[in-house]
Amino acid sequence: RRARSTGQLLCVAHDDECAEESEHWDIEMALEDAIHKSELRVYFQPKISLATGRPVGAEALVRWENDFRGLIGPNEFIPVAESSGFIRPLTEWMLNSALRLAGMWEHRWGVQEVSVNIPPCVLDRSDFVDTVISAQKLWYSATNKLCIEIVEQSFIENVENAFSKLNRLRDEGISVSIDDFGTGYSSLAYFRDIPADQLKIDQSFVFGLLKDRDNANIVELIVDLAHRFGLSVVAEGVEDIQTLSALKKMQCDIAQGFFIARPMPAEEYHEWLANYRGINASGVISTSGAETAR
């Protein structure tokens, strides 16, 4: 048996409980079985344009449905997958499953972007670009565009290598979004050559937007910075209408958050897309009645 990561994850406080817990549940070993037991799920969370109210795509977020543990969120097992190496097959599964499911979307909202999260250790692998390009070719659709979300930490080790991979993907029509922007290591010098299309402002700045002038300043600064370098901006963690309106005033391009919709299974997401009518001038989301996109 390989070293366990169970203890650290499940019980932070009590060592003896941990020892007992790990007798019954080895998260790392259970995770190894998750793909062939069909326990992984793709949830989708929509992103909407603040200018038009229209959906522009969705982020694919992994969930793990385990017989013993129920529905498990990624914060609980992505770190385990990263240390065990399972993150590579998991990412490949997500890429293929998200693109396959997106092929079933309705397209009355025009071209939609399907975003998949790519951690630094996966981006680092030499076969990464080929894996992404083959998934994109396999599930090709003229109305769905693949976007990969990477974090700033991807540039720490070998920035030239990371940039050249992102450039190869962009040459294939895949877009690149920098996730959790503002929390990691970023050098302003990157903005000259960063091969990205989009910045995603970290939730921590968005949550505090209305309460704290400093957070509002940071958001305005990121929007300005992004636009100066031809990048679009997504705000994630939009939980209320006031935040949505403030972001719109700040010229932020795209919003994602519980106020618009929570992440949901593919079938529910299809229903959400079918019923969505837009967002009116005062920022009210409408899922029925006349289309009010504006």
Please name the amino acid found at residue 47: K
74 binds, among ligand C2E, Mg ion, none (CB under 5 to 8 A by kind): ligand C2E
237 binds, among ligand C2E, Mg ion, none (CB under 5 to 8 A by kind): ligand C2E
Torsional sign, CA 273, 58, 80, 86 = positive
Q: Please choose, from the candidates 168, 186, 17, 239, the residue with its C-alpha nearest in 3D space to the C-alpha of residue 6.
A: 17
The reply on whether position 73 binds ligand C2E by CB under 6 A is yes
**Least distance between ligand C2E and beta carbon 59 (Å):** 6
Residue for token pair 């609980």? 76
What does 20-51 look like in DSSP terms, one character per residue?
HHHHH--HHHHHHHHTTTT-EEEEEEEEEETT
The reply on whether position 283 binds ligand C2E by CB under 6 A is no
266 binds, among Mg ion, ligand C2E, none (CB under 5 to 8 A by kind): none
Q: Which of 28, 92, 152, 179 binds ligand C2E (CB under 6 A)?
A: 179
Please name the amino acid found at residue 182: G
Pick the closer one to Mg ion by CB: 30 or 179: 179
Collapsed DSSP state (helix, strand, coil) of residue 148:
strand
Cβ burial of 13 (10 Å; 0-12, 13-18, 19+) is exposed
Binding mask 114-133 for ligand C2E (x = CB under 6 A): ---x-x--------------
The reply on whether position 94 binds ligand C2E by CB under 6 A is yes
Under the rule (CB under 6 A), what is the footprint of ligand C2E?
A: 45, 61-62, 73-75, 78, 91, 94, 117, 119, 149, 179-180, 236-239, 256-258, 263
